[in-house]
Structure 1
Amino acid sequence: MADLGAYLDKRDFGATPEPQADGTPSALGLRYSMQNHDATRLHWDLRLEWEGVLLSWAVTRGPSLDPADKRLAVRTEDHPLSYLTFEGTIPKGHYGAGTVMLWDLGWWQPLEPAARGLAKGHLKFRLHGRRMTGDWNLIRMARRDKRDNWLLVKIDDEAAGQRDPVARYRTSVASGRSFAAIRADKAACLPDHSGTRPGHRPVQLATLTDDLADHATHWHELKLDGYRAQVALGAGGPRVFTRAGHDWTDRFADLIPALRDIPCASALIDGEIVAGAGLQGFGTLQDAIAAGGPFGYVAFDLLQLDGRDLTDHPLTERRAALEGLLRPLPPMGAVALSPVIHGPADEALALICGNGGEGVIAKRTDAPYRGGRSRDWLKIKCRRQGTFRIVGWQASTSRGRPFASLALACDRDGGLAYMGKVGTGFDQDTMADLARRMEPLVRRDAPVKAPRREVAGMTWIDPDLTARIDYAETTAQGRLRHAVYLGLHDEGPPMRTPAPTVAISSGDRVIFDKPRLTKAGLAEYYRAAAPLMLPELAGRPLSLLRLPDGMAGERFFQKHPGKGFPAALKIQQIADKDGTPSSYAYVTDVEGILGAVQMGTVEFHIWGARRDRLDRPDRMVFDLDPDEGLGFAATRRAALELRDGLSGLGLRSWAMLSGGKGVHVIVPLRRTAGWDTVKLFSRGVAMLTAQAHPDRFTAEMSKAKRKGRIFVDWLRNERGATAIGPFSVRARPGAPVACPVSWDELGRIRKAGAFSTAQALERGWADTDPPPAQTLSAAVIAALDAALTA
């Protein structure tokens, strides 16, 4: 930790407005600022956050974007972090007397280890400022006197050679004030756009597909791993709207000064907010939201400009207008254009996936902008395959299942790096073969370093077996996401999954009248929906709602399968509360689902735990069940409030339309807490919600208590209780589907049964991205207790 002694010794804090407090280190990223200091000589002070202080250099003539210019930068005393945004006038007779203007603000990123660069006298870094961007060198000069002289030199990159920022920017980046206004201590006069600020519009959405688009009619853009947002510019300042139209300007306040620099009277821009300052990934963006930045905004469409509606214009014209609007902004700055990739779709996808991207969005170039999902925009995601060493297995508690998951590692820097686990892609024969191969390789110590909590109970083996793995991406923590086992590396190409063989009898029997859906049609839906369902459905005990004679006939729940059930629907013995074993059904594949349909099943209800760890739930469900007189708008609002309440307790959630009356708010859990803990915690959340708004919520099941209220049903979170599974059809008129939705999308939905079977298949998981499993830690439980007490 650097020393602030010199800073404190030089100042009389009874007379100077400069801050004395140390300030708080950034939770995410390294902050940067540059202050224009009108002292004895006008100069610019460069501040870089490092090890709890601001490293400081006085740049005598200001920064230059010309790589041929070498600007003298005199190293001065370290400043406290609280100095980062200081703006004011230091009185005459005091050290540094003169007016200080906050000229630039943002984040910085070392391009080489910073400690080594500072020690050797050559620091290479990248700025993510509102005015200063790109790569830079700070080079120490040979010392000839007491001054510690360095040179600030621009590296030749995209930002090099642009218009001189010293001449261009003469006011505060924060308040818009000049030196004279700061000296007079006049109120901030932030620059405003003068036109009428447009409101939010329904956003255009892409349809997920595996089909590549024709490059003669489409171009491709990066699929960004961020937060969809419309930016409205006009009188009153910029506003940031979520996809559902919620005003989140306060959450993205770090972006507002950069948005103010967009030169227009008014505009409505569509784009994506991403984690800035060289950070990557949606998880990092969530951290940035919690920390207040850094953010970047990637613009890809322009809906309105200076009062002119552009939505009926083709994409090519809207893009040209957007490029013209953003052209004056600093390149590589906080606001950027989404790059367009022309050429064959397979080449574009290979380029993106090969560089670790999420995928591409194919956009029809002659199409207007239309809210909602259509095939004018197509979303093609990257899937990756690789080979990884098997370094261990985690035991399963299920009889006949030799392991629950495999630990994986990759070769890196002469050793092994832990890459997480894979727990899907196995059938019984594959598991038995792997267990036989792994048994002789068992060892006492771990062949790879891994966090203890992630590998508890692991049986380690010598890393002699190499597996082929299909996965979506590598997370910021270096773990494979959505990993699926394909086979051992020496087995040749993976075998294709055979087509389901379950026969559907009485296929012409009508199950639903309007729209007409027969038993065969229902089976066809479930055959197509199986890949969407199995990640949540497979390996869980089930309760089945059976309608053997359709909607007009008898219906009943069946927890315990009887004789005559097809072999594809697997059976497990589970002890009831009194210790008596009972049969429960579960599925592992599409054949199991179709086997249940053959027996007249319409609805699939799932346990909150999987059969290999029945004592450890991996999901917590809150079913928002409204009184009959309440409209869906009240339930929708309640779901968003419950999401925010859970977020305040440190838990992220995802939403699912029940297909009936309500919404399910679901929290994925690590399998660390037992049923009692999860049940008590969920009850506490429901009680807290009801206490906060007793006129709108109840935590009690009683119909009398529910009058005019929404029941926050926490009873789904006890052993043996079930909740409707994602993509299950509901036995209700119209055959609605229980469908996952994104939080932004939820704000536009008008009923809990919004999606038919055809619509559910078309949208799939859409933009719903369930968060990773979380732990009900002591801190989370304590936060709930404190909230209840308050």
Structure 2
Amino acid sequence: MGNAVELEVGDRTVRLSNPEKVYFPERGLTKLDVAQYYLAVGEGVLRGLRDRPTTLERYPDGVDGESFFQKRAPKYLPDWIPTAHIAFPSGRSADEMCPTEVAAVLWAANLGCLTFHPWPVRRADTDRPDELRIDLDPQPGTDYGDAVAAAHQLHELLDGLGLRGWPKTSGGRGLHVFVPIEPRWTFTEVRRCAIAIGRELEQRMPGRVTTKWWKEERGERIFVDYNQTARDRTIASAYSVRPRPHAPVSAPLRWEELDSAEPRDFDIVTMPARYAELGDVHHDMDERRFELDPVLELAERHERDHGLGDMPYPPDYPKMPGEPKRVQPSRAKREE
């Protein structure tokens, strides 16, 4: 595998073991290639991770090997990487690492971390999200172009609510849109806002967008995955490497780039050149935080005028107050 190398990252020196280990066999890309990619986009990836409890998606033997999600801070975490105590819906809790410098990203990459999954909170307050995250997930029969159409409608909707969203590719066919918010609301309230926005998109794009939780009901539509805003649900960070054979990354975009962008064009080989030319196109994302009151008012109108209340949580969650029956529709019919 070759000897270890040392990478200078700011004021730190990060040791990279087995740098020639192949992580992406289809393209012959190695652990060192991944580390050098994260070094090239360091300030951009750190912008999305800074002070956030972060779950590591690790592939110690590359994308063809076994993988796992590591929520608890790894053993031997350096004392210069802080942690935050977080609570899971199950009632359990853990300390997660919270990157505050680029060297922490490289340290995790040495463990085989390809994708970083930050919580939408900061370590100063782990119960109040400071981002509303909207996941536009293409279902079978749809593609990136369908997600783009939904994103344009979402852009108009957010503008009308006095909000600004920041789009990025998922690293696959989908799109993520993040809205910086004041950390005033609970996970439950932020999730309610994601549901309200999803329902409004459904009304604007009938037959093309859905919030249906059960896959059998979604059809060939873009699914607004509102449960990605539930506690302990995370979305890959901007610039994260995704575990697919061609080594794609989650690429921040400007709104005007959506139509011409090709998600496969953004990978660990091509992104450094884009970053060197344009920098982080979301660099000013944290300069202003928005209020959710207009979206909560929209949710109240949905409930008052149309009887649209809460929606099902993921199956591993405890039953939540006001949640409808969590039973797959086809199964419910069989049991009647």
- Report the TM-score when normalising by structure 1: 0.35
- Secondary structure of the structure 2 residue equivalent to 1:704: helix
- Secondary structure of the structure 2 residue equivalent to 1:503: strand
User: 1:165-564 counterparts in 2 under 5 A?
Assistant: 498-564=10-76
**In structure 1, C-alpha distance between the alignment counterparts of 2:201 and 2:180, rounded to whole Å:** 20
Contact 1:658 1:664 in 2 (8 A): yes
Contact 1:570 1:585 in 2 (8 A): yes
The Cα shift of 1:642 comes to: 1.2
Matched, 1:666 2:178: yes
Matched, 1:712 2:228: no
Superposed CA offset, 1:383-412 (max 9, x none): xxxxxxxxxxxxxxxxxxxxxxxxxxxxxx
Counterpart among 195, 200, 203 of residue 683 in structure 1: 195
- Which residue does the alignment assign to 2:164? 652
RMSD value, Cα: 2.3
In structure 1, stretches of 5+ residues that fail to align are 1-496
Contact 2:59 2:113 in 1 (8 A): yes
- Which residue does the alignment assign to 1:324? none
**In structure 2, C-alpha distance between the alignment counterparts of 1:670 and 1:754, rounded to whole Å:** 34
Contact 1:541 1:584 in 2 (8 A): yes
Read off the aligned partner of 1:681 and give its amino acid letter. Answer: C
Contact 2:24 2:246 in 1 (8 A): yes
Read off the aligned partner of 2:168 and give its amino acid letter. Answer: M
Superposed CA offset, 1:6-63 (max 9, x none): xxxxxxxxxxxxxxxxxxxxxxxxxxxxxxxxxxxxxxxxxxxxxxxxxxxxxxxxxx
The Cα shift of 1:535 comes to: 1.8
**In structure 1, C-alpha distance between the alignment counterparts of 2:168 and 2:16, rounded to whole Å:** 29
- Which residue does the alignment assign to 2:314? none
- Secondary structure of the structure 1 residue equivalent to 2:115: strand
- Which residue does the alignment assign to 2:291? 775
Matched, 1:753 2:268: no
**In structure 2, C-alpha distance between the alignment counterparts of 1:677 and 1:573, rounded to whole Å:** 21
**In structure 2, C-alpha distance between the alignment counterparts of 1:538 and 1:595, rounded to whole Å:** 15
- Which residue does the alignment assign to 1:426? none
- Report the TM-score when normalising by structure 2: 0.80
Read off the aligned partner of 1:550 and give its amino acid letter. Answer: G
Contact 2:143 2:173 in 1 (8 A): no
- Secondary structure of the structure 2 residue equivalent to 1:622: strand
Contact 1:570 1:592 in 2 (8 A): no
Read off the aligned partner of 1:781 and give its amino acid letter. Answer: L
Counterpart among 589, 613, 619 of residue 125 in structure 2: 613
The Cα shift of 1:498 comes to: 4.2
- Secondary structure of the structure 2 residue equivalent to 1:545: strand
- Which residue does the alignment assign to 1:629? 141
Contact 1:575 1:582 in 2 (8 A): yes
Structure with higher RCO (Cα < 8 A, 6+ apart): 2
- Secondary structure of the structure 2 residue equivalent to 1:720: coil
- Secondary structure of the structure 2 residue equivalent to 1:753: helix
- Which residue does the alignment assign to 2:315? none
The Cα shift of 1:686 comes to: 1.1
Contact 1:565 1:599 in 2 (8 A): no
The Cα shift of 1:559 comes to: 1.2
Contact 2:143 2:174 in 1 (8 A): no
Contact 1:649 1:783 in 2 (8 A): no
- Which residue does the alignment assign to 1:25? none
In structure 2, stretches of 5+ residues that fail to align are 1-8, 307-336
Read off the aligned partner of 1:675 and give its amino acid letter. Answer: F
Read off the aligned partner of 1:773 and give its amino acid letter. Answer: R
The Cα shift of 1:578 comes to: 5.3
**In structure 1, C-alpha distance between the alignment counterparts of 2:78 and 2:34, rounded to whole Å:** 17
Contact 1:625 1:662 in 2 (8 A): yes
Contact 1:699 1:711 in 2 (8 A): yes
Superposed CA offset, 1:154-183 (max 9, x none): xxxxxxxxxxxxxxxxxxxxxxxxxxxxxx
Superposed CA offset, 1:401-429 (max 9, x none): xxxxxxxxxxxxxxxxxxxxxxxxxxxxx
Superposed CA offset, 1:237-291 (max 9, x none): xxxxxxxxxxxxxxxxxxxxxxxxxxxxxxxxxxxxxxxxxxxxxxxxxxxxxxx
- Secondary structure of the structure 1 residue equivalent to 2:265: coil
**In structure 2, C-alpha distance between the alignment counterparts of 1:709 and 1:561, rounded to whole Å:** 38
Read off the aligned partner of 2:198 and give its amino acid letter. Answer: A
The Cα shift of 1:609 comes to: 0.6
Contact 1:657 1:753 in 2 (8 A): no
Read off the aligned partner of 2:266 and give its amino acid letter. Answer: F
**How many correspondences in the alignment?**
293
**In structure 2, C-alpha distance between the alignment counterparts of 1:730 and 1:568, rounded to whole Å:** 27
Contact 1:569 1:595 in 2 (8 A): no
Counterpart among 624, 635, 641 of residue 153 in structure 2: 641
Superposed CA offset, 1:504-527 (max 9, x none): 101110001243211111111112
**In structure 1, C-alpha distance between the alignment counterparts of 2:281 and 2:33, rounded to whole Å:** 27
Matched, 1:763 2:274: yes
